[in-house]
Structure 1
Amino acid sequence: MKSLRIAWILLLGGASIYGGIFSANKLVSEAGVPFIAYTFWQALIGGLMLLVVGIITNNLPKLTSEHIISYIITALLGIVIPILILTFIGNRLPASIIALAYTLIPGMTFIFAVILRLDKPRWLSIGGLVFGLIGVSVLLLPKGTLPANNSVLWVLLALVMPVLFATNNVYIAKVKPPKANALMLSTGLLLTAAVVTFPIMLASDGIYLFWQTSSSTTWIIIWTGCINMVSFFCMFEIIRRAGAIFFGQYNYVIVISGIVWSILIFNEILSFWFWIALASMLIGLYLSNAGTNQSIRELSKKSSQ
């Protein structure tokens, strides 16, 4: 019971904090910070803060070949490429609309799991995917829902994020990451993301020192490092304490908190069609999570027989 209570605190806290990253990306993009350099610094800051905690508590990330391969693949699919996309489109779409993309992660995961025969078609998951696509259509089709500056193109690019996260989920389910605690895994992932992004930053922007920007932008970049530190640790610890099904609720809180952050910071005025899309996509998220729950229950029954 205590473990579940802690998992709830981590879920509500971690996802609420992570929801702020959409608004932070928009602020940093508007300040003119190169998006590759920004991706590097937020991963490095978060990773170094976790590394300090790891040194103090003697929980340094493991560096076997198995761990390093897992860090690289998961960092690319779950951190580097999604954050590059998030940052690139940060000032091109309202932060609240970008947050909606996270509702599609369970549905996309289901599609890939069926293709790889990790799961079978089930009506709940199909229904979740349908409601998610209806929500996307509601965003794209009616006039006045999106800004006029090639927004459909940017929404389509935002939809690459749930594809990447879903691919990462299926990779984890298929390959099984090596054993390590939440602090080790989150530290390894963020530092690997920084190492991978560093040469790309050098080629694109040279040595970009974020503290030479305005003081407000500097603190926002430090804030995003803190967001990554907290949210990735919470993610692994929630899965350890309560399992993957419970963690599926993380996306609900991310979407809702992302909208709240965008309203508080930018005073975004959201159209009627946005709220229809949100309702449809949250229904889709609920059905997709229910389908995942059903799948795991069936697997548990088979393993106990």
Structure 2
Amino acid sequence: MIAFLPLALVAPFCYACEGNIVARWGTAGLDPFQVLFGASAIGTVIALPLAIGSGQFFVPTSPFVLADFTLLFGSIVHVLVYAGYVGLIARAGSVFAGQVSYIVTGSGVFWAMLLLGETYSVWVWLALLCMGAGLSLVQPRVAERTTLGETAAHG
């Protein structure tokens, strides 16, 4: 299983790159929903041929069943949460916004308990406690104040 560890690190690496790029260069004047739309369009160009080629392409059809509504609900939640994440990067910085991943991890533990009946050892609870303590130490980026004269002198 250790051979798959580098594969598991791809998503966190991409999140780190995204957070730093958005924090450093911004979103070219686009709001978070516009950024997400562009990212989704690019993702569609990449994923659509893969989905069709592998036979995994799915289009909900009438009569709609629970799986169709779940897909729609999950998509709406994803758009709102991810747009909020992009907006948080722009407002509070990439380090503060990156803390979202720890909240997602903790939420996953609690959802697994609630929905799947999973139980965890004391080590998992200690790890979550350490994560919570670390989260409490991270603060949002403080906006830099500049006067008009400083901006004109440097710009």
Q: Normalized against structure 2, the TM-score is what?
A: 0.67
Q: Which residue is equivalent to 2:144?
A: 300
Q: 2:69 aligns with which of 214, 219, 227?
A: 219
Give the alignment of 1:82-121 within 5 angstroms: none
SS in 1 for 2:144: helix
Q: Which amino acid aligns with 2:77?
A: I
Q: Hey, what's the Cα distance between the residues in 2 that align with 1:283 and 1:186?
A: 31
Flag the structure with higher helix content.
1
Sort the Cα spacing of 1:239 and 1:165 in 2 relative to 1 into closer, same or farther, 3 A.
closer
How far does the alpha carbon of each residue in 1:167-223 deviate from its partner, in whole angstroms, 9 at most, with x for none? 2222334443311122222222223222221122223226x22537x9343333223
Q: Which amino acid aligns with 2:46?
A: V
Q: Hey, what's the Cα distance between the residues in 2 that align with 1:169 and 1:248?
A: 7
Give the alignment of 1:264-275 within 5 angstroms: 264-275=114-125
Q: 2:92 aligns with which of 219, 224, 243?
A: 243
Q: Hey, what's the Cα distance between the residues in 1 that align with 2:14 and 2:55?
A: 25
Sort the Cα spacing of 1:235 and 1:158 in 2 relative to 1 into closer, same or farther, 3 A.
same
Cα offset for 1:153?
5.3
Cα offset for 1:225?
1.1
Q: Which residue is equivalent to 2:153?
A: none
How many pairs are equivalent? 145
Q: Which residue is equivalent to 1:146?
A: none
Percent sequence identity over matched residues? Answer: 21
Structure 2: where are the runs of 5+ without partners?
A: 151-155
Matched, 1:177 2:27: yes
Q: Which residue is equivalent to 2:130?
A: 280
Q: Normalized against structure 1, the TM-score is what?
A: 0.39
Structure 1: where are the runs of 5+ without partners?
A: 1-149
Q: RMSD of the alignment, in Å?
A: 3.4
Is 2:88–2:97's contact at 8 Å kept on the other side of the alignment?
A: yes
SS in 1 for 2:119: coil
| Higher relative contact order, chain-length normalized (CA < 8 Å, sep 6+) | 1
Q: Hey, what's the Cα distance between the residues in 2 that align with 1:264 and 1:239?
A: 30
